[in-house]
Chain A
Amino acid sequence: MSALTKEWLRAEAASCGLALTETDVDAIYVRLVEMKTALAAQRPEDAATLEPPYRFAPPG
């Protein structure tokens, strides 16, 4: 994936057929930076064998 920039967001939105305003791009950029930073920081080595979705076993 290309580095996250507002230019990349605009181009990607256009290729997805999404009509976004500049205000949208600004707001989405802030949220994406927060999400992608958190995901990068929490990359879990001990989750390598944990297949989603994790399911509940009904009691009994």
Chain B
Amino acid sequence: MDADLCFAPAAALGERVRRRDVSPVEIVTALLDRIDRYNGMLCSYITVCADAAVAAARAAEREISAGRWRGPLHGLPISHKDIVFTRGVRTTCHSRTMLDLVPDADATVVRRLADAGMILLGKTNTTEFAVGTMDVFGTSRTPWDPAYYSGGSSGGAGSSLAAGLAVAATGSDTGGSIRIPGALCGIVGLKPTYGRVSRHGVFPLSYSMDHVGPMCRTVADCALLLGALAGRDPLDPTSSSCPVPDYAAALAGGVRGLRLGVPRQHFYEHLDPGVDHAVRAALRHLESLGAVPEPLDLPRASDVGVIGWALLAAEAFAAHAALLRKRSADYGARARQRIAGGAFLTAAEYQQAAQIRGLWMREVDAALQRVDAIVTPTTAFGGISVEAQNSTPPDTTRNTIPFNLTGHPALTLPCGFTDAGLPVGLQLVGRAFDEEMLFRIGAAYERSTEWHTRRPALEVRA
């Protein structure tokens, strides 16, 4: 088994595939071998498309050999979160209500990555409907210590990338579901600007806060994937026609002279010591590269999390009402309670929550006129045991959901480890449709640190 192949960045693998230095079949079979060894321990995948992936890899190999190379993602495997509809491949949403659902159409993100030549490797674990628990297929775990939760809801994606069971993945993020597992698994994840990536064919949770984005092991890989994912989709009326830039071109910019906002309120409060230490060290490192940290006032920050949960609950109930009435007992308790709670909020309360959200958006927009990006810890804690996750988990979304409310782009990347050996995530938040700035800062940090190159010691545990 070639572990180096399984941990290589997508951009490097894509270049090797183009040069025919490595075959898509070698990549896929190496990953399938590793999935076979470790998925039982980590619960990263719900469905693995082994035979179809090998067949698609052979087809890609033939296409490339015949001179029909489609681009830097051609022949690379992709894993989709199991709330993303895949034609002919079971899509469960990790719900007892959808165990046999086989969609007859692809989500737009699936189609776009397939058009770029990517190969569907499998469907990754998610909390039930991206809001509950993982009762049916098991709880996904961080490979840094499998007694600890991967984070959610895109936990299978985070887990699989950190363990070398995937090259790239899609996730969805309504309250932090790309960034939280990104942080707890030590990988890179981007929640793009609201409207940047189509949500068509992704099972909805919250119409106004759902985002779909890339999860990878490097910033450059996220930039590469976003380039293929982004853009107007007639099937998603919330998608934007804002032009898609060349994200790769932003990677070399460096941070000299960039102003980084460090919030005075909320985001640096109640941190685990290991998180506090790692994030402050990351800020000093960025300063040493020429960035200029500036204290920033965001006085509403502490109050908006619960507003986000109110909007999420109301919109989730709207999406689930019919199914929940018919199949209530088939929902897990946490999903049922979080979704059904939305039935008891009034229209006036929903309107009021939307107005508070508008004020918060103005506050963040104004802050981002003064700085180039906002820098925070992605999560306040360094890890959640699987036992805690399945009983009384902490609020994992306190630093992430504020930016689901605003729709600003937010990137998490690894910035260190706690004393217990669990990864810590750094969150960068940028102006609307300015993902390039996040890639620029993230790439500069990544180039000059080695956190993203570390691998968990799974071989010892297997």
Contacts and interface: CB of A to CB of B under 8 A. Distances in A.
B109 interface: no
A37 to B, nearest CB: 8
B141 interface: no
B349 A36 contact: yes
Contacts, number: 107
A52 B309 contact: no
B303 interface: yes
A24 B340 contact: yes
A39 B337 contact: no
A59 B242 contact: yes
Given A18-B328, A35-B306, A59 B433 contact: yes
A9 B152 CA distance: 29
Interface string B205-223: 0001000000000000000
A21 B338 CA distance: 13
Interface string B417-440: 000000000000001111000000
Given A20-B328, A47-B356, A53-B208, A34 B337 contact: no
Interface in B286-338: 303, 306-307, 309-310, 313, 324-325, 328-329, 333, 336-338
A24 B341 CA distance: 9
A28 B344 CA distance: 9
A7 interface: no
B309 A13 contact: no
B351 A52 contact: yes
Contacts of B337: 24, 27-28, 31
B427 to A, nearest CB: 20
Nearest to B432: A56
B407 A56 contact: yes
Contact of A50 (B208, B241, B242, B355): B355
User: Which of B303, B313, B344, B353 has the most CB atoms of chain A within a 10 A radius of its CB?
Assistant: B344
A31 B432 CA distance: 31
A16 B359 contact: no
A46 B352 contact: no
Contacts of A36: 345, 349
- What does DSSP make chain B's interface, helix, strand, loop or mixed? helix
Interface string A29-50: 0011011101101111011001
A59 B307 contact: no
Contacts of B448: none
Nearest to B352: A39
A18 B355 contact: no
A52 B306 contact: no
Interface in B339-368: 340-341, 343-346, 349, 351-359, 361-362
A16 B325 contact: yes
B194 interface: yes
A28 B328 CA distance: 15
A20 to B, nearest CB: 6
A58 B242 contact: yes
Closest 4 pairs between A and B when the two form their complex, measured CB to CB = A52-B354, A47-B355, A58-B242, A56-B432
28 contacts: A4-B344, A13-B340, A16-B325, A16-B343, A20-B336, A24-B337, A27-B337, A28-B344, A35-B313, A35-B341, A35-B349, A36-B345, A36-B349, A38-B306, A39-B349, A42-B303, A43-B352, A44-B359, A52-B357, A52-B358, A53-B208, A54-B362, A56-B193, A56-B433, A58-B240, A58-B432, A59-B431, A59-B433
Given A32-B345, A36-B345, A58-B433, 9 more contacts: A18-B328, A31-B338, A35-B309, A39-B307, A50-B359, A54-B357, A56-B194, A59-B434, A60-B243
